[in-house]
Amino acid sequence: MTKLSVNINKIATLRNARGGNVPDVLKAAVDCERFGAQGITVHPRPDERHIRYQDVRDLRPLVKTEFNIEGYPSDKFIQLVLEVIPEQVTLVPDPPDAITSNAGWDTVKNRDFLREVISEFKKAGIRTSIFVDTEFKNVAGAADTGTDRVELYTEPYAANFHKNKEAAVKPFVEAGKIAVEHGLGLNAGHDLDLDNLNYFYKNVKKLDEVSIGHALISDALYLGLENTIQMYLHQLK
C-alpha cells in the first residue's frame, strides 16, 4: 500500500497572507487525517514564509498518522527535528531562498555530510529520507549515506507526462528498481496530481509513500478537502 502524505505548506501560506489564524493550519492537519490522509508533511523554511517553526511544534501532539518534516539540514533545522521527533525527516538540498524544492542531492559529493546528519536522526529513532533525482549514481549513492529511504524528485515526470508518459516515467521506474536493490525504501513527490499520479503509481513498483501539497490544496479549492483527499487516495489503487 502506498501512503498519501499531505503537505500543508500552502494552507500556511494562505494564513500568513493576512495574519491571524485563518485558515487554521492545525485544524487542517487534523482534518486531512480525518478525511483519510496517512501522513502530514511540513517544510519549514528559514524565513518561515509558510510553515513556521512553532507550527511544527504545535502539530506534533496532534498528528496521529505519520509526521514528515522536510528541509535543508541547517543547525536550526536539525535542532527542531530532534526536539519534535517526527516519524520521518526528509532532507532536501534547498538553499534558503529557494521558492520550492527543485533538485535532488548529489549523494556522492555530499556523502560525508549526509552521513553525519542522518546518523544523528537515526540515533533519535527517526526514519530518514533524502531527496534525489533519477541519476544512477545519486540513487545508488544514497545507500552509502545510511538513509532509510529516498524520495524521487518527480517534477521532470510531471513536466513531460502529457508529451510522452511512457518516456516520462521510464527513468523513475529504473531509479525505483535501483533504490529497492540497494535496500532503500521509496518515496516520491513534487508536482504529482490527479492527472499523473495513478500512472506513476502503477509503473513505479514498491512505492512506499507520496507527498503532495500544492496540487492537492489547489484542487481542494474547487472540490473540497475531504473529496479531494479521497480522489487522491483513489489514484493509489
Q: Active-site positions? A: 43, 70, 190
Tell me which residue has cell 496530481. 193
Helix (H, G, I), strand (E, B) or coil at 7: strand
CA distance 42 to 184: 22
Nearest to 111 by CA among 134, 136, 143, 79: 143
Nearest to 87 by CA among 21, 142, 39: 39
Helix (H, G, I), strand (E, B) or coil at 167: helix
Helix (H, G, I), strand (E, B) or coil at 129: strand
- Cell numbers for 61: 501532539
Instruction: Give the number of other Cβ atoms within 10 Å of residue 77's Cβ.
Output: 21
Task: Give me the half-sphere count of Cα atoms (radius 13 Å) on the Cβ side of residue 148.
Answer: 16
What residues are paired with 210 via a beta bridge? 4, 188
CA distance 216 to 223: 10
